[in-house]
Chains A and B, each alone.
Chain A
């Protein structure tokens, strides 16, 4: 009996050790990637790197047009996907009856979430660039990215809305509020931090994507900044792809520098989302 127990303990320690090393193998490379990119990218980072155009066939100069392009693409994505995504989430959480048509919406969201990013690129090319005649443009790229981001925003927002207790709604209705007033004044404010977190995580992914903008928005090199939503644009992730695969004799320092700027974008958004979430958790009224 005692021997069996001792053996059990031994097996348990071994098992826990294996589980811990699986977690370590998963997580250590993440830290390694962050440290490596910043350490090797730091020498390239300077005000002029961020504020000038590439020169000498990308082998010198900065990445300004790529940064500006990613900013516009992300903003465009937000403008299209946030109202639609939050609206859809409100519909699913607050209005939709539980019937086959609502289940169809859910199946559609699940399916959208699984579509490969390059297939979104094909779709954007077919619909926005060619069929609607928007051409390779910030607008076409933003709309493509927006549809890709939609399922992320819908499901996180719906979850945030559903976590607001039903009693909040009951009180509002009993005080004479209409359905929409209840949603607008009571439920949405309570769910806001969760919705914001979802929006930021969705946009973070859109900002880092390359495949959907490959044929819808991205330009290899442009000598000036985009002047309207109908212009093509450079973008950070696509620029990193170009300088790490398409240009022979590319200085590694610029590659790491570009990766570092991209990672800064991602880390900033990720941190914002985490901060919003933890602050909301500590202030929650229920």
Chain B
């Protein structure tokens, strides 16, 4: 049968659509470089890695922003890893059917919550609570951001981890049980170790999600591009790279040093999340489609 003109055209469109993702990621990279690279010619590198972010005076030290992003991302991981992996194990291995049917849609709902809405609740509920319970100078701190971000990262950790646990062959569990292991021993010594690469992927993707989160973290971390030191730094206001771009890009003149520097931060963010995501994907690249669904 001869392919009609319509069929040729549609097949061509499908092919172009397939390659569009490559074009877009390339364009994102090109535009970030075009707008961000001029910074390197305008601001000395020693200033860029400096400790002061004060654009009005030409101080573009990114260290406080890098530190802010690092602090809340690590904090978020400390919240999301135990809760997320625990929840994934519970859903996949322990929960009765009815509980599973209840938990999974709820966690999917959390994944769909707009981050501004959670930021709003962070401002009106979480921050005042932490303020009074912990007796802080302000409720809007890195700690508040880390708690909220950890929770926002949970759906990623749970769904990827749960898929990894589900993928462990039933025969592994049956063999362990046949040798006299309890369900708990089976989970802890057999199922979880067998699924560890998938669980690790989930954790990495969750951290990537936390690193890239913008609105919620901007609203609850106090917007202070400073470099707090010492252990109590976690209870001080900070500002992340994402929040800095979101907060300042609206006010800068196009083509100014400040403008280019915000794009430069964008390059740093882009490359960091690219590395985190590709690292996560390489762990599960063998289970290909599965891995991609988890990623999105």
Contact = CB atoms under 8 A, between A and B. Distances in A.
Interface size bracket, A side: 35 or more
Contacts of B17: 83-88, 90-91
A108 B21 contact: yes
Interface stretch (A50-58, A164-172, A208-216, A224-232): A208-216
A241 B119 contact: yes
Given A110-B278, A113-B296, A114-B276, A155 B289 contact: yes
Contact of B106 (A27, A86, A214): A27
Contact of B296 (A95, A127, A152, A266): A152
Central interface residue in B31, B85, B105, B109, by most chain A CB within 10 Å: B109
A271 B166 CA distance: 25
B113 interface: yes
A25 B82 CA distance: 11
Contacts, number: 304
A22 B92 CA distance: 13
Interface string B212-226: 111100010000000
A283 B217 CA distance: 43
B163 to A, nearest CB: 12
Contacts of B132: none
B276 A117 contact: no
Interface string A109-150: 111111111111111011100110000000000000001001
Given A8-B182, A23-B87, A23-B103, A211 B246 contact: yes
B94 A16 contact: yes
A30 interface: yes
A245 interface: yes
Contacts of A131: 31
Interface string B85-105: 111011100110001000101
A270 B108 contact: yes
Interface size bracket, B side: 35 or more
Contacts of A119: 28, 32, 212, 245, 266, 269-270, 273
B20 A9 contact: no
Nearest to B3: A178
B32 A122 contact: yes
A283 B284 CA distance: 32
A106 B183 CA distance: 38
B250 A215 contact: yes
Contacts of B277: 110-111, 113-114
A62 interface: no
Given A27-B107, A158-B292, A237-B116, A122 B18 contact: no
A105 B19 contact: yes
B121 interface: yes
B21 A244 contact: no
A25 B281 CA distance: 28
Contact of B281 (A110, A152, A204, A215): A110
B120 A115 contact: no
Contacts of B27: 123, 127
Interface in B2-20: 3, 7, 10-11, 13-20
B274 interface: yes
B22 A104 contact: yes
Nearest to B17: A87
B94 A116 contact: no
Interface string A48-73: 00000000000000000000000000
Nearest to A116: B212
Interface string B267-296: 001100110111001000000110111011
Contacts of A151: 21, 292, 295-296
A176 to B, nearest CB: 6
A110 B287 CA distance: 13
Contacts of B288: 106
Contacts of A241: 116, 119-120, 215, 219
Interface string A244-286: 1100000010010001001100110110001000000000000
Central interface residue in B99, B263, B274, B289, by most chain A CB within 10 Å: B289
Nearest to A131: B31
Contacts of A259: 117, 120-121
Contact of B254 (A96, A130, A209, A255): A130
Interface of B: 1, 3, 7, 10-11, 13-22, 24-25, 27-28, 31-32, 34-35, 82-87, 89-91, 94-95, 99, 103, 105-110, 112-121, 123-125, 151, 154, 158, 182-185, 187-188, 205, 208, 211-215, 219, 242, 245-246, 249-250, 254, 262-263, 266, 269-270, 273-274, 276-278, 281, 288-289, 291-293, 295-296
Given A123-B32, A127-B27, 12 more contacts: A15-B184, A18-B86, A19-B87, A31-B106, A87-B17, A88-B21, A95-B15, A178-B1, A208-B116, A208-B117, A211-B215, A237-B114
